[in-house]
Structure formats: structure tokens, C-alpha cells
Amino acid sequence: TLLALRGILDGILINHIARTLSSTAKYPGSHALIIGWNVNDITRLWLEGWIASEQGWRVDVLAHSLNQLRPELFPESTLMVWCGEAPCSTQVNQMRLWEQQGQIIWLNHATATSPGGGA
């Protein structure tokens, strides 16, 4: 029953955040796409989106975590990548490669304090 209650709470939270993000989409600001990278807690992606919207970003959330990212598929967006805990060395190395290629990607994780913090 605890998992069921947590699922209900997550659904309520995601619904509220989705409505908030929808209402802020019409305001000016840079566009960001929140993407999970090998994470299990999808609700946290929505919370990160809410935080970014409060900081002035126009936000969309990719509702499922990805095992493999292809930032070139999102050329008009700043990617805010959530990897849960601190990124593993493979993730950090991949981020550096993307940055060298000119991709705009911010890596967020549990020990980061704001978009871009962490790597």
C-alpha cells in the first residue's frame, strides 16, 4: 500500500507541475528540455522542470528516462540532463565530448544546486 500511495502522490505532483509548465510556456525565455539519463525516479524529472521554470526557462520534460542520449536531435533546445546521483565517469566523459561539439547541455544531479551545477 505504501507504493500505491507514493504512486498516487507522484501522479498528483506530476499533474500539477505539467499544468504549471503549460501555463508558463507562453512567456518569453530560453527553451530547455529536461531529460533523464539512466534514472528510475521520473517524478524527479518533473520536479527539475518545475525548478527550471521558476528560474525563467520555458520547459518541456521528456517523460521517460533514456539509456542513450542524442543531443543532435534537439538542436533548438538547451538540454538539462538529470542523472540522479553524481554522474558516472562515462557520463562525464560523454558530456565533455558533447560540449566540444558545441552542444548546450547542463548536467543536473542530486548534489547539484542549480541547472548546470555538477559537471
The answer to whether position 117 is within a domain reads no
pLDDT of 115 > 60? The answer is: no
* Mean pLDDT (whole number) for 94-117: 71
The answer to whether position 114 is within a domain reads no
Domain count, the chain: 1
Q: What is the pLDDT of residue 77?
A: 84
What's the predicted TM-score (pTM) here? 0.79
The answer to whether position 12 is within a domain reads yes
- What is the band of 40 on the pLDDT scale with cuts at 50, 70, 90? confident
CATH code for the domain of 67: 3.40.50
Q: What is the pLDDT of residue 50?
A: 93
Q: How many CA atoms lie within 13 A of 26 on its CB side?
A: 4
Q: What angle is formed at CA 39 by the lines to CA 25 and CA 78, rounded to 5 degrees?
A: 35
The answer to whether position 115 is within a domain reads no
pLDDT over 70 for what percent of the chain?
A: 91
CB 74: neighbour CB atoms within 10 A?
A: 18
Q: 27 is in which domain, residue-wise?
A: 2-108
Q: Which of 41, 42, 108, 44 is nearest to 79 (CA)?
A: 108
Q: How many CA atoms lie within 13 A of 112 on its CB side?
A: 20
The answer to whether position 97 is within a domain reads yes
Beta strands in 8-110 (DSSP E): 31-36, 58-61, 78-82, 105-108
The answer to whether position 43 is within a domain reads yes
Q: What is the pLDDT of residue 118?
A: 46
pLDDT of 8 > 90? The answer is: yes
What type of residue sits at position 7?
Answer: G
The answer to whether position 89 is within a domain reads yes
What type of residue sits at position 64?
Answer: H
- Residue 85 CA to residue 106 CA, distance in Å, equals 15
